[in-house]
Amino acid sequence: EARDNWIPRLIRAKRPFAIASIDAISQEEIMRLAETSKRRKLPIAIINAFRLIPVFARLREVVVSGCLGTIDTVQVHVPADVSPVLCADLALWLLPNASSEGLSTAEDNRVAVTISGSNGNANATLDMDAHKASLTVRIGNTQRTITVPSTSSALMAERDILANTMPIAHRWPLLMHVDDAAKAIAMAEAYAANGKK
């Protein structure tokens, strides 16, 4: 009730704001907020996504560095207990033209992301049960695997971004914007409609 009261007030006042998680608001509301955000040029973030989980943030660094060459595909394996929308957002964050073909259902409780490029590939895995994460990068004949701490709080990092940046005319860096969430919802819905396993 408080959220339903405050969101319209913040929009009318043109005040940027963040929503605590994608589960705090319905998908229909996210789609409406995405349209409003575009129309009014108002930054609206949705925090507690997978973007700042250390292993996926490091995977993004590998992608942005260009060492994998031209990125061809991104594959994300979605555990049953994890939101496919968050996994779709992760895929779109790593490769903006990713498609629902890149999502697949995992039998275990691990989120696994594989990026393939013209020079090699990278694989990031987060084991939700064991709280372990690893990143493997293969370029040519060279492969390196590192264990990435999974205890860092992505939520605290996101709150720091919100507290220490002033998004006047553009998005908060790194955070999942409401437009990104709308695209991820569409991608996850296409995946569900195809009935892929």
- pLDDT digits 0-9 by tens, 26-83: 999 999 999 999 999 999 999 999 998 999 999 999 999 999 999 999 999 988 888 8
Per the CB < 8 A criterion, the answer to whether 68 and 62 are in contact is: yes
Low-confidence ranges of the chain (pLDDT < 70): 1, 151-153, 167-169, 196-197
Distance CA 23, CA 37 (A): 19
Show the tokens assigned to 132.
């372990």
Cα angle, residue 168 at apex, residues 163 and 172 outer, rounded to 5°: 50
| pTM, full prediction | 0.85
pLDDT at residue 101, rounded to an integer: 92
Distance CA 6, CA 153 (A): 27
